[in-house]
Chains A and B, each alone.
Chain A
């Protein structure tokens, strides 16, 4: 019972922390230098892992789709089905999960270390709000960069699918591209991009909170980081499911 209460209390505190971060984001002083640095760390720094994941996801997805669809004589639809899966689901979700592993853990560790070594207290005593200085730049950078990385995922994923579809599965390029065009609407891509925006905010708040609330030295920082990665990964899957249920529902 205690554990449930503690977990709920912690969740409530995190929500308040998130609201606090949003409030501070709207207040001067704005710190473009810090935001750019975080955009570089979270965004540019994740280009390699996101590109690699995207390319190979596209590759295997195209080969598997080809394997399944060829049995129906529908291999011309491989490009379209891969593109729509990427745009609506795989690009935003996998991008988020990989950024959590790469940058989310780093955010949590860095802020957690600052907490247990009193650097956050020191900042407060210097009349600087740590939420504004540490959390806001990471929040803004995540919300800004998740959609970009998701677009990158879309592009490279499709490139992988195209290479496999045309050169390995030997699907004629005409139908491959034509069916992709008819299958995928800009609103499918926007659906994914919008989710990426939300995921960016969710990941930033959870990972910053786990660092910010860390206690008890190196062990506490480590535990905070583990919880940050687990909690934000699960949160992404839950938010995604809820979003799809609401927007797509039964698909009728």
Chain B
């Protein structure tokens, strides 16, 4: 479904990605765990074509993303829904307008009552009531914004959902809620998910496959249990600090 092959990217002197390869199977959740500055956001931006690699490639559903420009790239992006770290909801639009936005743009001419029905349906998936539709993002709590962001990412029923640090800055209860939401989106809608995170607990909870990104390469990869037993010194240190706390 998603295939990243030997991806390299350098910004000035800084070699951010130094040969990343990975494969995400259809209908599974792939979590990339890494500290700040490990290059995980850069990796995700390559998957959706916001950045172009120096070498290597990304294939999503057989489509080679870095080769696309202009209209074909725009078309290819309809395969994705993306949930941003800080939700990135359009603050000049209401919740309804935010969630409806991708669908309205994809299927221009869609009748307004059908559009509304689809918005409400997706809000239910993320457990939100219809009453928040006329509110603006600034009137919602951080957790609710995150859920609206997920509803917006799911509205056009994309086969792939990308999550950029979905639990950063949330309290433990909301974090658990967001984790459930990721699992539910996979179960109910069958989406393929890619999550980048530095939240170890969440990562172990939602991942089918887990990878640890360190210094621009993937240091360990496998099921959460396999990664936990990794002998890579950085991975051991990264995980042990957290497991010791538990």
Contact = CB atoms under 8 A, between A and B. Distances in A.
Interface of A: 29, 110, 113-114, 117-119, 121-129
Nearest to A128: B105
Of A29, A119, A121, A122, the most chain B CB neighbours within 10 A belong to A122
Interface of B: 48, 50, 74-75, 77-78, 80-82, 84-86, 88-92, 101-102, 105-106, 108, 156, 162
A121 B106 CA distance: 17
17 contacts: A29-B108, A110-B92, A113-B91, A114-B90, A118-B84, A119-B88, A119-B91, A121-B50, A122-B88, A122-B89, A122-B90, A125-B50, A125-B80, A126-B102, A126-B105, A127-B75, A127-B106
A42 to B, nearest CB: 15
A114 B137 CA distance: 13
Given A117-B86, A122-B82, A122-B84, 20 more contacts: A117-B88, A118-B84, A118-B85, A118-B88, A119-B88, A119-B89, A121-B88, A122-B89, A122-B90, A125-B80, A125-B81, A125-B82, A125-B162, A126-B77, A126-B105, A127-B74, A127-B77, A127-B78, A127-B102, A129-B74
Nearest to A122: B88
Q: Which secondary structure dominates where chain A touches chain B?
A: helix
Given A29-B108, A117-B91, A119-B91, A125 B86 contact: no
A124 B74 CA distance: 8
Nearest to A124: B50
A124 B45 CA distance: 11
Nearest to A123: B90
Closest 6 CB pairs of A and B: A122-B88, A118-B88, A126-B102, A127-B77, A125-B82, A127-B74
A124 B108 CA distance: 17
Contacts of A125: 48, 50, 77, 80-82, 162
Nearest to A133: B105
A125 B74 CA distance: 8
A121 B84 CA distance: 9
Of A121, A123, A127, the most chain B CB neighbours within 10 A belong to A127
A122 B88 CA distance: 6
Contacts of B74: 127-129
A118 B86 contact: yes
A121 B108 CA distance: 21
Contacts of B48: 125
